[in-house]
Structure 1
């Protein structure tokens, strides 16, 4: 006797297990390691003895999904130097976001506010500018081309014609893809008048999708949390189920004044 889970919960589970161990749970791997699939269009049936573990995973949205490799690295770092045991415990308010290049959009206050929201795996690493409209012009194709060899999180920052600054942290670099990609680490943010961060609601997994015509972040409710056209000139921002966010820009439809994309240098 199995227990059925909804398609939204299945998306959540799929995201978790692919990120946890892609060599086992990738689409191309036909072995059955966790559950037997009886895919009947809208739900998944799992073995009864796996229900407790599944429910634990689904009980709250995942803010950060750590791979087996990174989890072992963290364990090693935490126990490698006993002499640091007396060091003061890391505090979120002490987080610092360090940029290797000058930003036209982010000041020191912005960097401090964003640093408190970043996943632990990015802490302590510098950020490098990989795309800027001021340097590279306004082209989504150029943005994709500059990121083609990247395999690291990215920070997208937009300034609209009303001088409002906002954007998104993506767990994955931007690329053209037929399907949505990313993990629950992905979040939105906006500045002015106050800093706001919008994290994954767990309602769906429509994190990021990209085509040659547009870049979309969030969705599922008839509008994207952040949408940019092929010229990186016109944009739109709506509330959406993925993040339960308020519109990021001053107006739902906006014109881009400047745009930057940063990536972590591991």
Structure 2
């Protein structure tokens, strides 16, 4: 694992390495005329990641600094640097991540306030959503708090959409669950959608139910109801025309368990989000 050095000025840091290895960092050496290290700036600090086998040498030099600016230098681990200054989250980052560091997906940005989703919810959802949705801002296209409870209004608000949508529901038992649909909800004679569609629940822990491959009953929109998943004794998620009564049963499409606290539930809040063009 590498080690990060926090310094006041990068020029002082360069001077330090010239003193340390003049045979490498000299103007006459065209191959290495400047440090071969990647530097990141964050909150007015700079970081240099070096290999672990250099720590002992640098630590010795720091105890006998070349100049007074060395007092501003500090040896810290990369993980500590991340905890202090969110080193690896800056968009302007120029540091290469350690090879054993897991990549973190971009958390979706919501253009409106959500009553149902927080950052933890979004992080879990992002991991399961297709790559084509990453990096986009999500806008609220329908909300019972804003638009009332009407499936017809929900369809009307999506009439001009041609992109994935995220349906989020909270029932009267405060359980949050929903569905990601590859296609916007609409009235159709036949089922629509693709294998990107999945069901999810946040209570007690996040769980995503992906397409099982058994059938293609992804979404079926009717004037009197919205159905997601099927092929068995019930739908994975079902909502009535008033978006007030709903149900969730295990279904072959997703091999899910019931998403709600009870198989038949009452909607407290409902939101639908879509990618902002």
Query: TM-score, normalization: structure 1?
Result: 0.66
1:95 aligns with 2:112: no
Whole-angstrom CA distance in 2 between matches of 1:92 and 1:220: 37
- 8 Å CA contact 1:95, 1:116 repeated in 2: no
User: Offset at 1:107?
Assistant: 1.0
The aligned counterpart of 1:190 is 201
User: Offset at 1:265?
Assistant: 1.5
1:180 aligns with 2:191: yes
Whole-angstrom CA distance in 1 between matches of 2:222 and 2:96: 47
1:146 aligns with 2:146: no
The aligned counterpart of 1:134 is 145
User: Offset at 1:225?
Assistant: 0.2
How do residues 8-157 of structure 1 correspond to structure 2 at under 5 angstroms?
A: 93-157=104-168
The aligned counterpart of 1:232 is 243
Whole-angstrom CA distance in 2 between matches of 1:92 and 1:240: 33
User: Offset at 1:93?
Assistant: 3.5
1:200 aligns with 2:200: no
User: Offset at 1:167?
Assistant: 0.1
- 8 Å CA contact 2:141, 2:274 repeated in 1: yes
- What residue ranges of structure 2 are gaps of 5+ in the alignment? 1-92
- 8 Å CA contact 1:187, 1:197 repeated in 2: yes
Moved >4 Å (runs of 4+): 84-92
User: Offset at 1:92?
Assistant: 5.4
Query: TM-score, normalization: structure 2?
Result: 0.64
User: Offset at 1:95?
Assistant: 3.0
1:171 aligns with 2:182: yes
- 8 Å CA contact 1:131, 1:146 repeated in 2: yes
User: Offset at 1:199?
Assistant: 0.1
Computing the radius of gyration over CA atoms, which structure comes out larger, 1 or 2? 2
User: Offset at 1:86?
Assistant: 8.5
Whole-angstrom CA distance in 2 between matches of 1:214 and 1:87: 50
Q: Which has the higher contact order (CA 8 A, sep 6+)?
A: 1
Whole-angstrom CA distance in 2 between matches of 1:247 and 1:93: 30
- Give the root-mean-square deviation of aligned CA atoms: 1.8
- What residue ranges of structure 1 are gaps of 5+ in the alignment? 1-83
Whole-angstrom CA distance in 2 between matches of 1:102 and 1:119: 23
User: Deviation digits for residues 93-135 of structure 1, max 9, x if unmatched?
Assistant: 4331111110000011111111111100000001000000000
Number of equivalent positions: 183
User: Offset at 1:200?
Assistant: 0.1
3-state SS, counterpart of residue 109 of structure 2: coil
- 8 Å CA contact 1:176, 1:211 repeated in 2: yes
3-state SS, counterpart of residue 235 of structure 2: coil
3-state SS, counterpart of residue 130 of structure 1: strand
More helix by share: 1
